Structure 1
Amino acid sequence: MTINRKKYVMIGWCLIAFVITAHAQRAANSITYQLVENIGYRGDDVDDTYAKERCVLDVYYPENTKDFPTVVWFHGGGITGGEKFIPKELKEKGLAVVAVNYRLSPKAKAPAYIDDAAAAVAWTFNHIADYGGDPTKIIVSGHSAGGYLVAMVGLDKSWLQQHGEDADKLAGIVDFSGHAITHMTVRAERGIKDTQPIVDEYAPLYHVRKDAPPLVLITGDREMEMLGRYEENAYFYRMMKFVGHNDVHLYELDGFDHGAMATPAFHILLHYVDKLTKKTK
């Protein structure tokens, strides 16, 4: 009888677990997602045709829920190419994605594309609540050139200040293999070769500060990355720690090169979206 009773209790718990799981799945499946494309984020701030063409963003969001987090996502491409997209790894995860286009070199020169990134983030602060999102739960992220842009906007407060916003309101910065030194395209615009490192006001490293938002740096394998990309980020990490920043993290994805590292990095991004936005509740 004791054995049978234990058996029935176990069956009962299994049934309860099944019902809870099924309910959670139904709740998740009840969320539907919408995509609104090509929203101009600079308004009357620019008047040239190229800026109006490039300064647009897409908003992908869960339409029947509220107060969700948002990832503002910047594509890569060396600041000379690339197009906005909603990463498949971020779809149907209970969050919004704001995918941003920005002006590209050589049609635009530094710092136009950094200012574009700041304008897009400011737009998100001002408008994500219109879609149901919580403006205190915004994380900026991007790959390569996109990672560089989010680091610049998040570390150098002057860019968002020009658009009436405070970088310290960001819930976090998650940088996929971005330059920590001055970007190679900024250097190329000055006639400096890509093997000549520069650290000036257009380098995230120049703006290390104790009071920055939480910062997550992710790179590929140091032996497979572009030039010294891992080492740049390792030094960036060390200097942030040195100035007293208590929420900076560095990941090296062994076996993944500069392009391939983005796929596993999304897993890390989602982890920090959950971790960092819970702090703001």
Structure 2
Amino acid sequence: MKREIFTIILCCLSVFASGQKEVYLQKNNILYYQDYNQKPNALISARCKLDVYYPKSSTKFSTLIWFHGGGLTAGNKEIPAELKDKGICVVSVGYRLSPEVTAPGYIEDAAAAVAWAFRNIEKLGGDTSRIFLSGHSAGAYLASMITLDKSWLDKHKIDANRIAGLISLSGQAITHFTIRKEKGLAATKVVVDELAPLYFVRADAPPILLITGDRELELLGRYEENAYLMRMMTIAGHRKTRLMELQGYGHDMTKPSFPLLLKEIDRIVLSKNIGAR
């Protein structure tokens, strides 16, 4: 009888434990340049910080590095509410903005933040084989540059092909309009140079999901830029680039994109046979 009661208690405790909600922790304002040979200054100290939101009890979790939008001239690091409590870690990155810096300063910041994640995320329980890059608009541009142009992470002795996947939300594929403005060029002047993701199409890149708003509602040419990037990646031999167009949504298309982003993380993780998020 005592053994039966003990068994019932254990079962109840097991059910209670399995029904408990995962606890998440957040570490804020981590200076990601502290490990690198970058001279500190007031702007770096103010802008080059990241926040980490991660599941306390999980191990080998996926990590999403999120770059905010704002045209490379505005915005602050943020952890979107739609990405919280989803079983993943979110690293939200702040970076220097134009005109305080010009290209490629903000790209250098993005690379340093990604390198920080590769060097530190295991300490929190994460898996470096499951680090994904994403962002909206200017943030997606930065994530795309770091993924496709391997030279930025090479400076940190990290192979960009270790990135598990890129999910770009309405990012620029040509040279960003703020960079063109810094050069005195009009927004309608199309430039594809070493500061354009399109310049670095390659067959061996990580999986890429490009999501844009409706081509008739997006910022000028944004859907077409991404469609051309997808086409050129395919021609170059990359078989893992996909494009989604969200009908009825303009440039502010993050909310309907987040479920697709999370689904893409699961799809890639499962395809690698390393378990779901």
**Quick check: TM above 0.5?**
yes
Seen in structure 2, the aligned counterparts of structure 1 residues 29 and 55 have a Cα distance that, compared at 3 Å, is: same
Q: State which of 97, 101, 105 in structure 2 corresponds to 1:112.
A: 105
Instruction: Please name the residue that 1:37 is paired with.
Output: 28
The alpha-carbon deviation at position 28 of structure 1 amounts to 6.3
Instruction: Please name the residue that 1:133 is paired with.
Output: 126
What CA distance in whole angstroms lies between the structure 1 residues aligned with 2:114 and 2:273?
18
What CA distance in whole angstroms lies between the structure 2 residues aligned with 1:52 and 1:262?
29
Q: Which protein is richer in helix relative to its size?
A: 1
What CA distance in whole angstroms lies between the structure 2 residues aligned with 1:102 and 1:123?
13
The alpha-carbon deviation at position 163 of structure 1 amounts to 1.2
Taking the TM superposition and a 5 Å limit, the aligned residue runs for 1:81-100 are 81-100=74-93
The alpha-carbon deviation at position 46 of structure 1 amounts to 2.8
Matched, 1:266 2:258: yes
Taking the TM superposition and a 5 Å limit, the aligned residue runs for 1:52-201 are 52-201=45-194
What amino acid maps onto 2:153 in structure 1?
L
Q: State which of 258, 269, 276 in structure 2 corresponds to 1:277.
A: 269
Instruction: Please name the residue that 2:8 is paired with.
Output: none
Task: List, as ranges, runs of 4+ consecutive aligned residues in structure 1 with deviation greater than 2 Å.
Answer: 25-30
Q: Deviations over 1:74-119 (max 9, x none)?
A: 0000000001111111100110000000000000110000010000
Matched, 1:240 2:233: yes
Seen in structure 2, the aligned counterparts of structure 1 residues 28 and 91 have a Cα distance that, compared at 3 Å, is: farther
What CA distance in whole angstroms lies between the structure 1 residues aligned with 2:110 and 2:41?
17
SS in 2 for 1:120: helix
TM superposition score normalised by structure 2: 0.91
Seen in structure 2, the aligned counterparts of structure 1 residues 70 and 201 have a Cα distance that, compared at 3 Å, is: same
Instruction: Please name the residue that 1:206 is paired with.
Output: 199
What amino acid maps onto 2:263 in structure 1?
H
Work out the number of aligned pairs and report it. Answer: 259
> How big is the alpha-carbon RMSD for the aligned residues of Structure 1 and Structure 2?
1.5
What amino acid maps onto 2:54 in structure 1?
Y
TM superposition score normalised by structure 1: 0.89
Instruction: Please name the residue that 1:9 is paired with.
Output: none
What CA distance in whole angstroms lies between the structure 2 residues aligned with 1:135 and 1:77?
28
Q: Which ranges in structure 1 are unaligned for 5 or more consecutive residues?
A: 1-18
The alpha-carbon deviation at position 26 of structure 1 amounts to 5.8
